[in-house]
Structure 1
């Protein structure tokens, strides 16, 4: 069975534990690993009770995720498709539409702030659609800007001295 790679927090705890076992003081360890001194004292208590394995076994903090890695990967693939393929009226993903899609796919409801965070974690960023007509003729626009616009612009009036 393959070992699960250690997360950054666990690596920090283990480094701190090794330093403490080597005789370093909590203040020095806290500075070296970039945590508060009180945190090192908490870790030292765990180390004294259960050894280095106790530092490895500290559970993750916060509420457990409601979507797992596989579901997030599926959601990412869905968002790379057109919203119209999922029954939405236009080609634009909005937070509200993404929240609706998540509810349809997984039965989980998220607020718009959390949807924003999920999108950020998936590598998406806010995009503003170009406000141009699909039928726009770039050559005609260039011609108008070069020929017609200069004749319409006001010319500075010659002032008499």
Structure 2
């Protein structure tokens, strides 16, 4: 089911929907037909068919709410352990360098807790617990910052040359002589 503006059901709304499904179960047990159940509960027949199938396959448990799909599948204790392991660094866990990637964190979660997350779900989990995205600065080992500053101050102005001033009536979108 999709909701406008990316929203979902609150816990209260989820509980209300669950109560309706449980009322449907009572009606299933009394032998009412899908059309009658749908009319009485003011829901679609298609929903009633889906609930009846879940009820036949799994009983009352089949129609209970499974909770928010955005809810973390890790307990607070597991998240605390994950954070400790992340702070130890990726090299300890078999990474090739000192950068955590979402794929590496996803793999770590699977190894530690036998829980499968998508890469996007891993990002949401980390973000929810205060981790932020960081791009490492990529710099050449041979880089000499002092020499770069000297080059920018002395050489670059000569290479770039003076700027042309705008002539009245000329457009900045056309080059001189291109008319």
Could you say which TM-score interval applies, normalised by the shorter chain?
Answer: 0.5 to 0.7
Say which one has the larger Rg. 2
Q: What's the CA shift for 1:115?
A: 0.6
Aligned length: 106
Whole-angstrom distance in 1 between the partners of 2:164 and 2:123: 54
Whole-angstrom distance in 1 between the partners of 2:142 and 2:89: 20
Q: What's the CA shift for 1:95?
A: 1.2
Q: What's the CA shift for 1:118?
A: 0.9
Whole-angstrom distance in 2 between the partners of 1:148 and 1:139: 14
Query: Which ranges in structure 2 are unaligned for 5 or more consecutive residues?
Result: 1-9, 20-64, 166-179
Q: What's the CA shift for 1:61?
A: 4.2
SS across alignment from 1:132: coil
Check the 8 A contact 1:76/1:122 in 2, yes or no. no
Query: Which ranges in structure 1 are unaligned for 5 or more consecutive residues?
Result: 1-8, 14-34, 43-58
Which residues of 2 match residues 91-130 of structure 1 at below 5 A?
Answer: 91-130=98-137
Q: Which residue does the alignment assign to 1:62?
A: 68
TM-score, normalisation: structure 2: 0.49
